[in-house]
């Protein structure tokens, strides 16, 4: 067993507090107790494992989570999601303590856009407005005019006058989909999400032959050939709403598998089939970053209030402006 002090020192290399937990503890009960004791709110993304979703105070997509993080008056925000999400919570609510169960819960999409390279790229288009998907680091947000999520991206692009050029970063698939939907050229950064690019078109088409009545529902981070055969495209919360409200009973779900837990809860009589990836054996549609969070790590990070998200104040202020713009556009569009 590692001593607490050693585990605390190890956090920056290991990513989480690696302390043994009494195996007789009921972690659901303990987490509930800690929420009250510490006036903490547990926010979880739809891609978290089912147990984490069930113990969370709020489950949402990136937009909902940002909004919730901004408005909460809890003293501590426990973020069951990935690093850029917890960072966004800190940017929006700096006086609160924000903890992330595992600091190594990153994002391949955020990693695909290094700040120095992005600065050089931006410099080539000095008159362009920069719109960045929220799945990016604070250093990219600080170089951005408007942040967007997949729930509000169309409104964010449409907020820029027609005669003004746009750089869209970091997701090339979401960017290409927006270009097509809005009939608007943009300069795209060449980044992508490892989870949404792994789906196999061929296998999805075969699956559709087995379930001919099933509707294919996909996240816009997927590649174009997948989006071309999708019956509905939307953010996680939009996919959830569509699957609940639609008259259809079967769905092939082309996004991270965690969302299926809420889909089944919201529409118990319906069938949700996770879309297959290109590999035979892997759980391809599990985000390895999101799935680093566990109930054990959540319990420990609430108990010891670490790992904590800390940020330089001038970076925070620069990163906040484009998020505030996004929230304003979302409010005007009636999305929040
Ligand atoms: P949304 O929850 O905004 O749809 O984003 C999906 C995603 O990939 C989060 O990392
Ligand atoms: Fe990043 Fe993709 Fe994982 Fe979302 S699903 S956190 S975009 S790697």
Exposure b/e, 197-214, CB count within 10 A at least 16 = b: bbbbbeebeebbeeeeeb
Nearest ligand, CA 290: 2
Helix (H, G, I), strand (E, B) or coil at 94: coil
Cβ distance 125 to 165 under 8 Å? yes
Q: Both tokens of residue 187?
A: 């300069």
Cβ distance 167 to 125 under 8 Å? yes
The residue extents of the domains of the chain are 4-105+289-310, 109-193+316-332, 199-274
Residue linked to tokens 């088409």: 205
pLDDT digits (tens, 9 = 90+) for 179-203: 999 999 999 999 999 999 999 999 9
Task: Give yes or no for residue 285 having a pLDDT over 90.
Answer: no
Residue 3 CA to ligand 2 centre (angstroms): 33
Residue 108 CA to ligand 2 centre (angstroms): 6
What's the CA angle centered on 51, arms 48 and 42, to 5 degrees? 70
Residue 41 backbone dihedrals phi, psi, to 5 degrees: -115, 135
Residue 318 CA to ligand 2 centre (angstroms): 24
Q: Kindly tell me the sign of the dihedral angle through the C-alpha atoms of 84, 222, 215, 212.
A: negative
Q: Is 285 in the pocket of ligand 1 (CB under 6 A)?
A: no
**Which superfamily does CATH assign the domain made up of 199-274 to?**
NadA-like (3.40.50.10800)
Output the CA–CA distances (angstroms, integers) from residue 285 to 135, 243, 274, in the order listed. 18, 19, 8
pLDDT of residue 278: 77
Task: Give yes or no for residue 1 having a pLDDT over 60.
Answer: no
Nearest ligand, CA 111: 2
How far apart are the C-alpha atoms of 118 and 290, rounded to whole Å? 25
Q: Both tokens of residue 205?
A: 């088409």
Mean local confidence (pLDDT), 74-79:
98
pLDDT digits (tens, 9 = 90+) for 38-52: 999 999 999 999 999
Q: Is 195 in the pocket of ligand 2 (CB under 6 A)?
A: yes
pLDDT of residue 250: 98
Q: Is 135 in the pocket of ligand 1 (CB under 6 A)?
A: yes
What is the pLDDT of the chain when averaged over all its residues? Answer: 96
Task: State the CB neighbour count (10 A cutoff) for residue 107.
Answer: 22
Q: Is 49 in the pocket of ligand 2 (CB under 6 A)?
A: no
Pick the CATH number of 109-193+316-332 from 3.40.309.10, 1.20.140.10, 2.130.10.30, 3.40.50.10800: 3.40.50.10800
Ligand 2 pocket mutation pick from 83, 109, 255 by most atoms within 8 angstroms of CB: 109
pLDDT of residue 221: 97
If you take atom 3 of ligand 2, which residue's CA is the nearest one?
287
* pLDDT band (50, 70, 90) for residue 326: very high
Q: Is the domain 4-105+289-310 a CATH 3.40.50.10800 member?
A: yes
Mean local confidence (pLDDT), 125-142:
98
Nearest ligand, CA 110: 2
One fold for 4-105+289-310 and 109-193+316-332: yes
Task: Give yes or no for residue 123 having a pLDDT over 70.
Answer: yes
Q: Is 61 in the pocket of ligand 1 (CB under 6 A)?
A: yes
Residue 198 CA to ligand 2 centre (angstroms): 12
Residue 235 CA to ligand 1 centre (angstroms): 7
Task: Give yes or no for residue 139 having a pLDDT over 80.
Answer: yes
Where does residue 54 rank: exposed (0-12), middle (13-18), buried (19+ CB within 10 A)? middle
How far apart are the C-alpha atoms of 284 and 301, rounded to whole Å? 28
Residue 305 CA to ligand 2 centre (angstroms): 25
How far apart are the C-alpha atoms of 102 and 107, rounded to whole Å? 12
pLDDT of residue 280: 67
Of all atoms in ligand 2, which is nearest to the CA of residue 107?
1
């Amino acid at each position: 067993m590692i001593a607490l002090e050693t585990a605390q020192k190890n956090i920056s290399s290991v990513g989480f507090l690696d302390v043994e937990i009494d195996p007789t503890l009921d972690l659901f009960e303990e987490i509930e107790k800690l929420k009250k004791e510490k006036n903490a709110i547990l926010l979880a993304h739809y891609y978290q494992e089912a147990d984490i979703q069930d113990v969370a105070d709020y489950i949402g997509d990136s937009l909902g989570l940002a909004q919730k993080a901004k408005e909460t008056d809890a003293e501590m925000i426990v973020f069951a999601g990935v690093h850029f999400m917890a960072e966004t919570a800190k940017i929006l609510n700096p006086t609160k303590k924000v903890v992330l169960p595992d600091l190594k819960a990153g994002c391949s999409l955020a990693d695909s856009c290094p700040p120095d390279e992005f600065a050089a790229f931006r410099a080539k288009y000095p008159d362009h407005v920069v719109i960045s998907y929220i799945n990016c680091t604070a250093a990219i947000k600080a170089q951005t005019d408007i942040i967007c999520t997949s729930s509000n991206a169309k409104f964010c692009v449409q907020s820029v006058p027609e005669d003004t050029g746009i750089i869209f970063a970091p997701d090339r698939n979401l960017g290409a989909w927006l270009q097509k939907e809005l009939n608007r050229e943009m300069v795209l950064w060449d980044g992508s999400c490892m989870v949404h690019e792994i789906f196999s078109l061929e296998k999805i088409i075969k699956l559709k032959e087995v379930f001919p009545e099933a509707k294919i529902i996909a996240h816009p981070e997927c590649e174009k050939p997948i989006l071309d055969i999708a019956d509905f495209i939307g953010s996680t919360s939009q996919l959830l709403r569509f699957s609940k409200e639609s008259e259809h009973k079967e769905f092939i779900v082309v996004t991270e598998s965690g969302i299926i837990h809420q889909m089944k809860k919201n529409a118990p009589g319906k069938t949700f089939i996770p879309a297959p990836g290109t590999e035979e054996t892997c759980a391809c549609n599990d985000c390895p970053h999101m799935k680093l969070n566990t109930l054990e790590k959540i319990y420990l990070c609430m108990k010891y209030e670490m790992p904590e998200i800390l940020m330089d104040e001038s970076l925070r202020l620069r990163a906040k402006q484009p998020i505030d713009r996004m929230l304003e556009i979302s409010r005007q569009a009636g999305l929040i």
